[in-house]
């Protein structure tokens, strides 16, 4: 497996030119990416990012096939879904932390988030900007 080619194809997919830009997109710091690249362990993160983002992992690894799998629609046309599985850096970071956590921590975190979301829906008013608690 040519790790440099994987990195370059990932940059094409992410529409970036620098390793530091790719690092940000996959959710790690530029120094962390650089260290992983030196050790030859960065490709796992790239592959995981590509799979989550809807890219064709076979294309990423070999260059064969399409960059993104196409989706067939009822009218027989085939269209790409370029926004599929794209997350903001903050969302991706949250996902990465969650996935790296112990299953019991994941369960606890989900319960806390669900309770917090419920409380927010009950106590936070609408409008623009940062909403505060409704006054009684």
Say yes or no: 39 and 91 in one domain. Answer: no
According to DSSP, the residues that pair with 72 across neighbouring strands are: 78
- Calculate the dihedral angle through the C-alpha atoms of 108, 111, 113, 116, rounding to the nearest 10 degrees: -130
For the record, the structure tokens of 75 come out as 């009218």
Burial of 28: CB neighbours in 10 Å, binned 0-12, 13-18, 19+: buried
**Range 15-44 average pLDDT:** 91
Cα 39 from Cα 99, distance rounded (Å): 23
Say yes or no: 27 and 47 in one domain. Answer: yes
Say yes or no: 29 and 70 in one domain. Answer: yes
Q: Is residue 80's pLDDT more than 50?
A: no
Is residue 136 in some structural domain?
no
Q: Is residue 67's pLDDT more than 70?
A: yes
Q: What's the pLDDT score for residue 113?
A: 79
Structurally, the chain folds into a number of domains equal to 2
Q: What's the pLDDT score for residue 78?
A: 40
Q: What's the pLDDT score for residue 16?
A: 92
> Which domain CATH number covers 65?
1.10.260.40
At 124 the three-state DSSP class reads strand
Say yes or no: 17 and 69 in one domain. Answer: yes
What is the three-state SS of 8-76? HHHHHHHCCCCHHHHHHHHCCCHHHHHHHHHHCCHHHHHHHHHHHCCCCHHHHHHCCCCCCCCEECCCC
According to DSSP, the residues that pair with 62 across neighbouring strands are: none
Q: Is residue 6's pLDDT more than 50?
A: yes
**Residue 107 backbone dihedrals phi, psi, to 5 degrees:** -60, -45
Q: Contact at 8 Å (CB) between 46 and 10? A: yes
């Amino acid at each position: 497996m040519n790790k440099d080619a994987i990195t370059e194809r990932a940059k094409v997919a992410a529409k970036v030119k620098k390793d530091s830009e790719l690092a940000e997109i996959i959710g790690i710091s530029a120094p962390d990416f650089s260290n992983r690249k030196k050790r030859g362990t960065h490709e796992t993160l790239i592959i995981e990012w590509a799979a989550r983002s809807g890219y064709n992992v076979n294309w990423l690894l070999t260059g064969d096939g399409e960059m993104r799998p196409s989706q067939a629609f009822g009218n027989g046309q085939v269209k790409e879904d370029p926004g599929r599985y794209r997350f903001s850096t903050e969302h991706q970071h949250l996902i990465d932390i969650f996935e790296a956590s112990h299953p019991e921590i994941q369960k606890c975190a989900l319960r806390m988030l669900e309770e917090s979301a419920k409380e927010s829906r009950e106590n936070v008013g609408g409008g623009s900007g940062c909403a505060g608690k409704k006054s009684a």
